[in-house]
Amino acid sequence: MYRRKVQVVGGSTYIVSIPKQWADEMGIKEGNEVTVEKLADGSLRISPLVGKRTEAPVAKLFISCIESDDVIARAILAYYLTGSREIKLSFKDIECKERVLSVLNFLKGKVLGLEVIEETSDEVILGVILDNRFYDLKSAQQKMIKTISSMVEDTVKAIQSKDIGIMGDIYKRDDLLDRLYLYSLRYITASASTLEARESVPPNMLPHYALITKSLERVGDHISLIARNLMESLKSSEVDESQLSMLQSYLKQEKELLDIIEELLESFSYSKLVLATEKAFFLIKKEGELRKSIDRPTIYYSYVVESCRRIVAYSIDVLESLLDIAALSGGEIGIANFDKK
């Protein structure tokens, strides 16, 4: 920590010198500009506009292959989430390298933009390459909710037609949500350390965006589980037409809730937030009717109903975080002036 005395020049201009060591590290010269940002707690953050910008780090990882494939995958993923622009992997021998390449093929299906950009006999360099469709956190979250909404819509259609093939496809779509989720976490990490990202997402909002991202990922998990368990339930004939009809109606209403959340992620509206909250609590009551429809022991259908409950619970978490973000953004949310009519 550096301490500086405040000087007054001309009676109205306050001057504070910046540390020479920091200026040298950043490549700041006389006449260069810096940004001064006021934070929520009243403190100031100084960032360089020119000179050496803080770049995402280059990670280095030696893999001996005494680790399991799961540990190797988690180690690589950890560096991806920290925002590393490159991950250099080195190995003890060629057999180990071949095994790691197999792990990387698996990871590519789970992680956005992770590509091999350089390779030798004992080293592989990974780069994170993303196009402008995934430039910011908001676009990633919007793609998550659109994917989730389409999964629910297709589940409703699959129930109507009893198409097990569609249900299997819905289950597989969870991989896309995992990729968007992990990218969002990477972006949130970057937002805490880079000026460009901070300009997009203020630091005091990061925990709430992280909660939204995690909640959306969990909603997607449970829609995927509904498709998988419903597929098995139909195969084992443990669910009847009446139960399927009730489930279809319930999922249609969950789709309506998710559509409102999609609109809120695009642009916050207090009236829509109230509408979504009322819809969520209505669905909580309706979930009890789904449970009562289970008049005999079931294996898979009971899990379907439980997942329906979890989707609503995580949706409420998203709504709470959106309200928190709106409050942190400043201005009036509109409680006093809101008219339900």
Give the pLDDT of residue 42: 78
Is 187 a member of any domain?
Answer: yes
Task: Report, as an integer, the average pLDDT of 181-190.
Answer: 89
100: left (phi over 0), alpha (psi -120 to 50) or beta: alpha
246-299 confidence digits (pLDDT tens): 999 999 999 999 999 999 999 999 999 999 999 999 999 999 999 998 888 788
139 in the same domain as 122: no
225 in the same domain as 120: no
Which residues partner with 46 through β-bridges? Answer: 36
Which residues partner with 124 through β-bridges? Answer: 89, 119
Is 53 a member of any domain?
Answer: no
Tokens matching residue 92: 């003890």
CB within 8 A of 226, min separation 6: which ones? 155, 251, 304, 307, 308
272 in the same domain as 148: yes
| Structural domain total, the chain | 3
83-136 confidence digits (pLDDT tens): 888 999 999 889 999 999 999 999 988 898 899 999 998 899 999 887 555 567
Among 134-148, 156-170, 210-224, the least confident range: 134-148
Give the pLDDT of residue 331: 55
Instruction: Give buried/exposed letters for 201-224 (b at 16+ CB in 10 A, else e).
Output: bbbebbebbbbbbbbbbbbbbbbb
Give the pLDDT of residue 56: 62
Residues of the chain with pLDDT > 70, as a percent, come to 90
Give the pLDDT of residue 231: 93
CATH code, 31 = 2.10.260
62 in the same domain as 29: no
242 in the same domain as 139: yes
Task: Report, as an integer, the average pLDDT of 173-184.
Answer: 92
Is 282 a member of any domain?
Answer: yes
Among 36-40, 123-127, 307-311, the least confident range: 36-40
Handedness of CA 50, 52, 54, 59 (dihedral sign): positive
Alpha-carbon distance of 254 to 284, in angstroms, equals: 10
197 in the same domain as 110: no
Band the pLDDT of 204: cuts 50, 70, 90. confident
Q: Which of 101, 128, 155 is the last residue of a domain?
A: 128
Band the pLDDT of 338: cuts 50, 70, 90. very low
DSSP string, 127-164: EE---GGGSSHHHHHHHHHHHHHHHHHHHHHHHHHT-H
Among 28-32, 46-50, 105-109, 165-169, the least confident range: 46-50
> Domain of 296?
134-328
Q: Are 16 and 6 within 8 A, CB to CB? A: yes
114 in the same domain as 195: no
Give the pLDDT of residue 50: 62
175 in the same domain as 123: no
Is 146 a member of any domain?
Answer: yes
Handedness of CA 262, 263, 269, 270 (dihedral sign): negative
Is 336 a member of any domain?
Answer: no
Is 338 a member of any domain?
Answer: no
157 in the same domain as 98: no
200 in the same domain as 116: no
Give the pLDDT of residue 120: 92
Q: Are 220 and 148 within 8 A, CB to CB? A: yes
Q: Give me the phi and psi of 47, to 5 degrees please.
A: -135, 145
Alpha-carbon distance of 275 to 257, in angstroms, equals: 9
Is 111 a member of any domain?
Answer: yes
CATH code, 115 = 3.30.110.20
Is 337 a member of any domain?
Answer: no
Residues of the chain with pLDDT > 90, as a percent, come to 62
323 in the same domain as 183: yes
173 in the same domain as 120: no
CATH code, 236 = 1.20.58.220
Nearest to 275 by CA among 290, 289, 264: 264
Q: Which of 128, 157, 173 is the last residue of a domain?
A: 128
Looking at residue 31, what DSSP letter applies?
T
Band the pLDDT of 341: cuts 50, 70, 90. very low
Q: Which of 100, 128, 156 is the last residue of a domain?
A: 128
